[in-house]
Amino acid sequence: MKRTFFFAIGLLLLVASFLAGYWYKTRDGRTVTLSREAKSTSPSSIGDSSDQVPEDDMAPGTVRVGPEKQEMFGIRVGTARRASETHTLRLVGRVAADETRVYRINAAVDGWIRGTFSNTTGSLVKKDEPLVSFYSPEFLSAEQAYLYALGALDRFTADESETPGQINLTNVNIQQYRSSLRNLGMGDLQIEEIARTRKLTQDVLITAPATGFVIARNISPGQKFDKGTELYRIADLDRVWILADLFENEAQYLKPGKSAKVTLLHQKKVFQAKVSHILPQFDPITRTLKVRLETDNPNYLLRPDMFVDVELPIALPPAIAVPSEAILDSGLRKTVFVDRGNGLFEPREVETGWRFGNRVQIVRGLKPGERIVISGNFLIDSESRLELAAAGMYSSLTTDPVCGMSVSISKAEKAGMKSVYRGKTYYFSSPECKRQFDQNPDHYMEQARVKHD
C-alpha cells in the first residue's frame, strides 16, 4: 500500500516538473512555442499582431525562435529550388586483363619439354617469339606425310606430265598436312621452315600467338606433360578492363558508352575510359554490382590487379535537392523545418530519393521556393519535440497521408479537414492535401503500404 502511495506521489511530482519546465520555456520572449495553452500563459505572446500567426494555420510542433537566438545558435535558412544536378560518382577500380585478349596455350599432344627460353612470368613477349620447344612422337608421321606431298608436287611440276586435276589434289593434300601439324601445336613459321629445308625436326617450337605479357608459365626442362595441359597464358595489355563495385541504386545512372576518368594516383597518370556494353554483374559476396570499363593502356602503365580511382560524371534530371544537414533522420521519419516567417519554424516530414555528396533529393513534402533551415536545426527540433509532447497532453496527433505532416485531430475536425475512406477517417493539414487524397485515395494507401513494408 505504501509502495503504491509513494509511486503516485512520484508520478505527480514528475508531471508537475514537466509543466513547470514547459511554462518556464514559454516565458522566454526569444523562444515561444505555439500551443493554445502556451500562448495564453506566455508573456511573450503579447505584442504586435503582425507577429502572430493564427493557431489553426500552424502544424503541431511549430516553434518560434527570435533573431537573437537564431544568431546565437547559428541557424541558417535556405531556399528549396528545383534544378538539374551534376555530380561525380567516385569509385575504386581494379585493373584486369581483357578476357578477349587473353591467350591460353594448351598442349595438343603428350610430350616432353626439350628446351626453354628466357621468358618468365611477367615478361613481355612479341608475336611469333619462341616460348618453348618440346618433343612428341606424333609429329614424326605428320612431318613425313607433309614432306612426301611436297616431294610429289615438285616431281609433278618438273615433269609437266601430270594433269591439272592431279596437281590440285596434291596441293589439297599439302594443305591438309599443314593443318595437321598446326593442330598438333606446330607454328606456321616452323612449318614453312620444314618446307624450305625439306628436313624433319624433333624439336617442335611453341611461339607467342600475340604480343603480350606472360601471366602464367607451367613448364620446366625435361618436364613430361599430358594432352590438354596449360603451358602458357599470355595477356595482351594494349587495352584493359577496369572493374569497380557500386551499389544497386547507383547502377541506374551508368549507361553503356558513358565516359569516365581513370587515375593512376601514385604516377599521376589519367586515362579516359568508357562503360562497357556488358551489363553490371551482381556480386553475392559484397552485395554490390560490378561495372566494367574499358580503356587503352599506352606504355602498359596499367597492370592487372592495380588499384585506380574512377570518376563518373552523372547528370540528374531536375529535382528538389537540399543539403543533407537540413534533414533530421530519426530512423522512422525524415523531417525538415520550414521557415513560415516571423521566426516561425514548422516541422515537415519528407520523403527522400537519391543522395550524392552532401545533396539529397526531396521526393515529397517540399515545394520549390519554400525556405528551410539548413543549419542549427537541432535546437529547433528539441523545441519542437517539447511542443509536440505538450500538444499530446491535450489532443491526439495523426499523420497526413498526402504530405506526411503531423496533424492535430481536433484542429482538423474543427476545420473540416477529414475524409472517410473504407470505414477509416483520415485527417489533413491543408485543403490541397485533402483534395489530392479525395481524387485518388488508393494511390496514397499504396504509398503508405510500401513505406510501412
Cβ-contact 390, 18 below 8 angstroms: no
91 pLDDT more than 70: yes
Burial of 337 (0-12, 13-18, 19+ CB in 10 A): buried
Higher pLDDT, 356 or 114: 114
Cβ-contact 327, 103 below 8 angstroms: no
Q: What is the mean pLDDT of residues 235-256?
A: 86
Cβ-contact 280, 289 below 8 angstroms: yes
Q: What is the mean pLDDT of residues 7-20?
A: 49
- Report helix angle 431-439 to 441-452, nearest 10: 100
Q: Give the alpha-carbon dihedral of 221, 224, 229, 231, to 10 degrees.
A: 10
* Closest among 292, 306, 277, 278 to 246, alpha carbons compared: 292
CATH 2.40.50.100 fits domain 99-235: yes
- Under 8 Å CB-to-CB from 302, ≥6 apart: which residues? 95, 237, 240, 264, 271, 295, 308
pLDDT single digits (tens) 412-438: 777 788 888 888 888 887 888 888 888
pLDDT confidence of residue 353:
85
31 pLDDT more than 60: no
Q: What is the mean pLDDT of residues 64-74?
A: 81
What whole-number distance in Å separates Cα of residue 54 and Cα of residue 66?
18
> DSSP secondary-structure letter at 49?
G
In the chain, % of residues over pLDDT 90: 22
Higher pLDDT, 66 or 40: 66
3-state secondary structure of 22: helix
Q: What are the beta bridge partners of residue 259?
A: 274
pLDDT confidence of residue 11:
47
Cβ-contact 117, 232 below 8 angstroms: no
Q: Give the alpha-carbon dihedral of 433, 434, 436, 440, to 10 degrees.
A: 140
Burial of 416 (0-12, 13-18, 19+ CB in 10 A): exposed
pLDDT confidence of residue 41:
32
Burial of 150 (0-12, 13-18, 19+ CB in 10 A): middle
Q: What are the beta bridge partners of residue 366?
A: none
pLDDT confidence of residue 15:
44
pLDDT confidence of residue 20:
47
Higher pLDDT, 449 or 453: 449
Cell numbers describing residue 139: 609429329
Cβ-contact 77, 399 below 8 angstroms: no
What whole-number distance in Å separates Cα of residue 234 and Cα of residue 229?
15
38 pLDDT more than 70: no
Place of cell 616452323: 190
pLDDT confidence of residue 53:
46
- Using pLDDT thresholds of 50, 70 and 90, give the confidence band for residue 453: low
Cell numbers describing residue 362: 526531396
As a whole number, the mean pLDDT across the chain is 79
37 pLDDT more than 60: no
39 pLDDT more than 60: no
pLDDT single digits (tens) 247-282: 877 777 778 888 999 999 888 899 999 998 777 778
- pTM: predicted TM-score of the whole model, two decimal places: 0.60
pLDDT confidence of residue 408:
73
pLDDT confidence of residue 130:
92
Burial of 64 (0-12, 13-18, 19+ CB in 10 A): buried
Cell numbers describing residue 7: 509511486
Buried b (16+ CB within 10 A) or exposed e, 235-271: bbbeebbbbbbbeeebeebbeeebebbbebeeeeeeb
Alpha carbons within 13 A on the beta-carbon side of 429: 22
- Using pLDDT thresholds of 50, 70 and 90, give the confidence band for residue 43: very low
Q: How far is CA 196 from the centre of its chain?
A: 60
Q: 113-127, 174-188, 381-395, 397-411 — which is least confidently predicted?
A: 381-395
The secondary structure of 403-415 as a DSSP string is T--EEEHHHHHHH
325 pLDDT more than 80: yes
What whole-number distance in Å separates Cα of residue 77 and Cα of residue 365?
17
* Closest among 366, 376, 358, 371 to 335, alpha carbons compared: 366
Where along the chain do the CATH 2.40.50.100 domains lie? Answer: 99-235
